[in-house]
Amino acid sequence: MKTRIMTAIFLFVGFFLAYFCLPLYGWIILVTAISGAACWEWGRLMSASPSWQFGFVAVVITLCCLLLFMHPSFFDSGPGEPDKQAMWDIGRWLYLPAAGFWLLVVPLWIKNRWILSQSPLGWGIGIMVIMPTWLALIHLRQAGMYSLLAIMSLIWMADMAAYFSGKTFGRHKLAPIISPGKTWEGAIGGTLVTLLYGCALFHYMPGLFLKNTGVLIIILILVLIIIMSILGDLFESLLKRQVGLKDSSNLLPGHGGILDRTDSLSSTLPLAALAWLLISA
């Protein structure tokens, strides 16, 4: 527990220092490095050899760099509104497939408990999970310094509320084979608390993330974020269980790996970035 707490403090302080102190290009370098570590862990989930793992890291980082060089305009850190058209030009090629994957494929994957095989399809799914998240971490920071933090806090609130609701009221298992600790009571409690928190957040900070958006749209987005966070958690838990891993790696002492800490973010941030680009265009 001491190790877990110390790591959590280090991550918390390090994240906020990087988020508020680094210029945009520094943030991009950091997010790219974290994504590279996630690629290495994805290879572990596929039981790949170290050479394949590092090869996948090199491929994804190369793709990220190519996007930066092809469309440098939407990474402009100057004053004024970000170039949303440039963001959309490249974002649609990642966010739309990611939305289809998480909304349509992952529920079927969890239901049928498909095996992640070491194949071109398996590596492609890894790109689908990691690269849209990488791009969303950059785009949503440009939506406003507090926009990305607000969305991440919603996901963290959903996780914490679900945990404590499940501990207190949990009786009925949500997915006993995949994640025995999750319950329907926890999911419902997490949903209710997150809806209240999210509505308060948008009420007191109306310019946050989505401007001039109706209450109904905000509630629908909040419900989608909650559902996606649960799906992301269950999806990664299933992949780990299938290969007999407790954690995706030991990079973060007491917390596992990058994928363990970003499973809910991977399923929600690309959809949040897509919603921002579509609604605020």
Residue 5 burial (10 A CB sphere; 0-12, 13-18, 19+)? exposed
> What's the pLDDT at 79?
46
Per-residue pLDDT tens over the stretch 19-59: 999 998 899 999 999 999 999 999 999 999 999 999 999 99
Residue 213 pLDDT exceeds 80: no
Q: How far apart are CA 62 and CA 127, in angstroms?
A: 12
- Which tokens in the block code for residue 81? 């509104």
Residue 184: give the domain boundaries.
2-72+84-279
Average pLDDT, whole number, for the chain? 88
Q: Is residue 79 domain-resident? A: no
The answer on pLDDT for 177 being more than 50 is yes
Q: What is the per-residue pLDDT for 206? A: 62
- φ/ψ of 86, rounded to 5, equals -65, -40
Residue with the larger pLDDT of the pair 106 and 198:
106
* Phi, psi dihedral angles at 252 (to 5 degrees): -115, 95
Residue 11 lies in a domain: yes
Q: What is the mean pLDDT of residues 194-214?
A: 75
What is the DSSP track for 81-109?
---HHHHHHHHHHHHHHHHHIIIIIHHHH
Hey, CA dihedral for 58, 276, 147, 254, is it positive or negative?
negative
What pLDDT score was predicted for residue 81? 64
* 85 or 127, which is more confident: 127
Domains contained in the chain, number? 1
- 221 falls within a domain: yes
The pLDDT assigned to 208 comes to 65
pLDDT for position 281: 61
Identify the pLDDT of residue 211.
Answer: 63
Answer yes or no: is 36 within a domain. Answer: yes
Query: Do the domain assignments include residue 260?
Result: yes
Least confident of 42-46, 169-173, 240-244: 169-173
pLDDT digits (tens, 9 = 90+) for 89-132: 888 899 999 999 999 999 999 999 999 988 999 999 999 999 99
| Alpha-carbon span 129 to 123, nearest angstrom | 10
Q: Is the pLDDT of residue 164 over 60?
A: yes
19 lies in some domain = yes
**Domain-embedded: residue 77:** no
- Identify whether the C-beta of residue 71 lies closer than 8 Å to the C-beta of residue 90: yes
Structure tokens at 224: 């989608």
74 has pLDDT over 70: no
Instruction: Look at residue 211 and tell me if it is in a domain.
Output: yes
More confident site: 202 or 77 = 202
The arithmetic mean of pLDDT across residues 154-179, rounded, is 88
Q: What is the spatial distance between Cα 158 and Cα 188, in angstroms, rounded to a whole number? A: 10
With 0.85 as the threshold, say if the pTM is over it: yes
Sign of the four-CA dihedral 72, 75, 81, 86: positive
